[in-house]
């Protein structure tokens, strides 16, 4: 597995990481614990060194799973987790956002225990909290770094001005945001800002929540607990229109002797050397397919063909329902 550095930081990780959320949360029932541990450890054996989780995934159970799975390999891997939600400890219900400095520090202590470690490699603010100045958030993480409990500071789905303000207090190592062939908005302002400041990008949902793999069509049904049921982009009508993008991707993949997923991930890797996608999966064969993208070399002609194909498709549907859309891009 090739390695990449996140921006100007000294944090080096595998070119592809593993998004662990779906093992516990978001896409239907959680996998059986032994299956989740086996998948995470299979990723380690195949050279993956970046593992992404968050307290809110479950909540709490995903961090526990990741911590147990990675305990034997702790010195060889990078664990990223996130703070920023107010979670009722008794019910696990989200009660809104909370990035107050005292809360951030309490979350760090709890996450350290669940992750079975004495330091969090990368600690993200999960969503920007409009009630807490970002300078205070960055200052709290700076304190945690000084105390040796956190190594690197990250933001998720933050807008350019928020990134700049945070970075002035405590250098931001990475921004985690959605970025893929069917969500390219970060290219306008976010990518140039990150390049200027020397910050890495960790794209989540790099396969469009599974849609870009070609395994989903207009008639696909999701589990009742699957987040995609409330995503406008996954309405049957939107999927029918968006299938044109998947069909084009499939043709390009066939011409390159690759799968659609490999092409979608290889395209992301080709955009900037400081981009590290974190596709998630619950299946070993999908893990191996995703890792295979690191070995797909797209030529300038390939990239131009993909760009032209994507430009010809008007992707339908918002990427979040309205109540969640309000939390991104602040």
pLDDT tens for 104-137 read: 999 999 999 999 999 999 999 999 999 999 999 9
Q: Rounded to an integer, what distance in angstroms lies between the CA atom of residue 151 and that of residue 117?
A: 12
| 126's tokens | 């999960």
Largest CA distance in the chain: 55
Interval 166-176 mean pLDDT: 98
* DSSP codes of every residue in 14-48: ESS-EE-GGGTSSBSSPPPHHHHHHHHHHHHHTT-
| Segment 290-306 mean pLDDT | 93
| Strand, helix or coil for residue 192 | helix
Cα distance between the two ends of the chain: 34
**Tens-digit pLDDT profile for residues 199-220:** 999 999 999 999 999 999 999 9
Pairwise pLDDT comparison (84 vs 329), residue with the higher score? 84
For residue 81, the model assigns a pLDDT of 98
Q: Which pLDDT does position 325 carry in this prediction?
A: 93
Measure the CA–CA gap between 47 and 17, rounded to whole angstroms. Answer: 9
pLDDT for the residue 90: 87
What pLDDT is recorded for position 307? 84
pLDDT at position 89 is 87
| Res. 329 pLDDT band, cuts 50 70 90 | confident
Query: What confidence category does residue 234 fall into, taking pLDDT thresholds of 50, 70 and 90?
Result: very high
- Domain 3-208+272-295 superfamily per CATH: NADP-dependent oxidoreductase domain (3.20.20.100)
Segment 222-236 shows an average pLDDT of 95
Closest C-alpha among 214, 294, 300 to residue 49: 294
Q: Is 11 left (phi over 0), alpha (psi -120 to 50) or beta?
A: beta
Tell me how far the alpha carbon of residue 226 is from its chain's centroid.
Answer: 17
The DSSP string of 274-328 is: TB------S-HHHHHHHHHGGG----HHHHHHHHHHHHT----S-SS-HHHHTTS
Catalytic residues: 57
List the domain boundaries for the chain. 3-208+272-295
Q: Strand pairing of 120-125 and 78-83?
A: parallel
Q: Is residue 309 scored above 90 in pLDDT?
A: no
Q: Which of 142, 21, 165 is nearest to 80 (CA)?
A: 21
Beta-bridged to residue 27, according to DSSP, are 226
The number of residues in the chain equals 330
Residue 258 has pLDDT above 90, yes or no: yes
Q: Which of 14-18, 196-200, 295-299, 307-311 has the lowest mean pLDDT?
A: 307-311
pLDDT attached to residue 259: 97
Mean pLDDT of the chain, nearest integer: 96
Q: Return d(Cα 152, Cα 317) in angstroms, integer.
A: 35
> Looking at the predicted structure, is the pLDDT value of residue 25 above 90?
yes
Gap between the Cα atoms of 175 and 164, Å rounded: 12
For the cut 90, the answer to whether the pLDDT of residue 308 exceeds it is no
pTM for this prediction: 0.97
At 241, the pLDDT band (50, 70, 90 cuts) reads: very high
């Amino acid at each position: 597995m090739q390695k990449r550095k996140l921006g100007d930081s000294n944090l080096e990780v595998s070119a592809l990481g593993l998004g662990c959320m779906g093992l516990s949360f978001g896409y239907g029932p959680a996998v059986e614990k032994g299956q989740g541990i086996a998948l995470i450890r299979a990723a380690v054996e195949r050279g993956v060194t970046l593992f992404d989780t968050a307290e809110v995934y479950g909540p709490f159970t995903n961090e526990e799973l990741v911590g147990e799975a990675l305990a034997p390999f702790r010195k060889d891997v990078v664990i990223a987790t996130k703070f920023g939600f107010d979670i009722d400890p008794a019910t696990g219900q989200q009660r809104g956002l909370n990035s107050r400095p005292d809360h951030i520090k309490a979350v760090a202590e709890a996450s350290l225990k669940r992750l079975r470690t004495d330091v969090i490699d990368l600690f993200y603010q999960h969503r920007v909290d409009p009630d807490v100045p970002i300078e205070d958030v960055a200052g709290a993480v700076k304190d945690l770094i000084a105390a040796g409990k956190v190594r690197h500071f990250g933001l998720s789905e933050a807008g350019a001005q928020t990134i700049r303000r945070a970075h002035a207090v405590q250098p931001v190592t990475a921004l985690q945001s959605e970025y893929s062939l069917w969500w390219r908005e970060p290219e306008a302002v976010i990518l140039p800002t990150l390049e200027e400041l020397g910050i890495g990008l960790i794209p989540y949902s790099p396969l469009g929540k599974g849609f870009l793999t070609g395994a989903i069509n207009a008639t696909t049904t999701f589990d009742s607990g699957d987040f995609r049921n409330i995503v406008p982009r996954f309405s049957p009508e939107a999927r029918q229109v968006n299938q044109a993008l998947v069909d084009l991707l499939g043709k390009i993949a066939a011409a390159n002797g690759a799968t659609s997923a490999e092409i979608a991930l290889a395209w992301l890797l080709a955009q900037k050397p400081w981009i590290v996608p974190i596709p998630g999966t619950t299946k070993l064969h999908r893990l191996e397919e995703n890792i295979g993208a690191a070995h797909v070399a797209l030529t300038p002609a390939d990239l131009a063909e993909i760009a032209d194909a994507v430009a010809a498709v008007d992707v339908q549907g918002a990427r979040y329902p309205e109540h969640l859309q309000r939390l991104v891009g602040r």
